[in-house]
């Protein structure tokens, strides 16, 4: 059983408050962005809807947006609870390419830009770039702006997300990592990398965020993405487990 504490205030600027909380037995990291000008909040990949509603009520802010980096169950688990537990109706945003893995929602406002490109999204008085970075899933997005980089399961602090789940693609993931590496060249070096899961790094540490410069020096996926042979031999792109077997069955049914 996982225990829940209070969210950690990771970053405060003139424009935003950024809270992070590890939730669930899969070590999910949830992120809540509050616009200080409007007291509106955006929750990214909610695992536990009630947890975030209760916290926002205490902070006297309103969740007006739900953004999904992708639609694996552990990143959308709290969405319905957010809708059922409040009369207010947040805007749900997700990339339309997630439909390729069977995700449908009558509530979704779909981003529909091409892979390896970005659009600008706004909530409250702040803006973010939404980059379409497929590979872990068909419509995975990476969110960049205001000094933060929310990578979801595209990139973890040491590695990257697996590509053997239904809708995943190893080469698309490599291309997305190469794309992001190029984007990072013009991103402030002290920006905070915020992954979708808290996983152990090679040195045994288990941080929940890193500054971009430290991340670039230590991330094995970033370092291997330009070498196809190195990339294809990375140990964390696929696993022989029940989820991989389920993905194989889903692919067979689709054929």
The parts of the chain modelled with pLDDT lower than 70 are 1-4, 244, 247, 255
Which residue bears the tokens 């992120």?
A: 31
For residue 135, give the DSSP letter. S
pLDDT of residue 116: 98
Phi, psi of 221 (to 5 degrees): -65, -45
pLDDT of 1: 41
The sign of the torsion formed by the CA atoms of 69, 138, 93, 147 equals: positive
- The predicted structure's pLDDT at residue 2: 47
Question: What is the CATH architecture assignment of 8-254?
Answer: 4-Layer Sandwich (3.60)
Position 85 scores a pLDDT of: 79
Are residues 221 and 178 in contact, defined by beta-carbon separation less than 8 angstroms?
Answer: no
The predicted pLDDT at position 122 comes to: 97
Q: What's the pLDDT score for residue 185?
A: 97
CA distance 223 to 218: 8
Name the residue among 203, 194, 146 with its Cα closest to residue 28. Answer: 194
pLDDT digits (tens, 9 = 90+) for 17-37: 999 999 998 899 999 999 999
The CA–CA distances, whole Å, from 35 to 11, 39, 199, 254 equal: 12, 5, 28, 42
Report the pLDDT value the prediction gives residue 84, as an integer from 0 to 100.
Answer: 86
pTM of the predicted model as reported, rounded to 2 decimal places? 0.95
Domain boundaries in the chain? Answer: 8-254
Residue 81, exposed/middle/buried by CB under 10 A (0-12, 13-18, 19+)?
middle
């Amino acid at each position: 059983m996982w225990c829940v504490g209070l969210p950690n205030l990771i970053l405060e600027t003139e424009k935003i408050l950024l809270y992070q909380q590890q939730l669930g037995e899969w070590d999910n990291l949830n992120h809540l962005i509050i616009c200080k000008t409007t007291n509106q909040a955006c929750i990214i990949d909610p695992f536990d809807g009630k947890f975030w509603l209760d916290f926002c009520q205490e902070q006297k802010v309103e969740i007006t947006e739900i953004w999904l980096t992708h639609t694996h169950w552990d990143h959308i688990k709290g969405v319905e609870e957010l809708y059922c537990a409040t009369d207010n109706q947040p805007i749900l945003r997700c990339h339309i390419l997630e439909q390729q893995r069977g995700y449908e929602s009558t509530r979704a406002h779909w981003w529909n830009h091409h892979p390896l490109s970005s659009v600008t999204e706004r909530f409250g008085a702040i803006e973010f770039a939404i980059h379409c970075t497929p590979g872990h899933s068909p419509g995975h997005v990476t969110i960049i702006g205001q000094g933060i980089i929310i990578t979801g399961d595209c990139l973890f602090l040491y590695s990257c997300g697996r590509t053997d789940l239904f809708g995943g693609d190893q080469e698309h993931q490599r291309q997305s990592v190469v794309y992001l590496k190029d984007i990072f060249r013009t991103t402030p070096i002290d920006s905070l990398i915020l992954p979708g899961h808290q996983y152990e790094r090679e040195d045994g540490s288990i941080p929940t965020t890193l500054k971009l410069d430290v991340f670039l020096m230590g991330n094995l996926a970033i370092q291997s993405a330009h070498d196809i042979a190195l990339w294809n031999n990375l140990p964390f792109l696929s696993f022989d487990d029940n989820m991989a077997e389920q993905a194989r069955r889903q692919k067979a049914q689709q054929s």
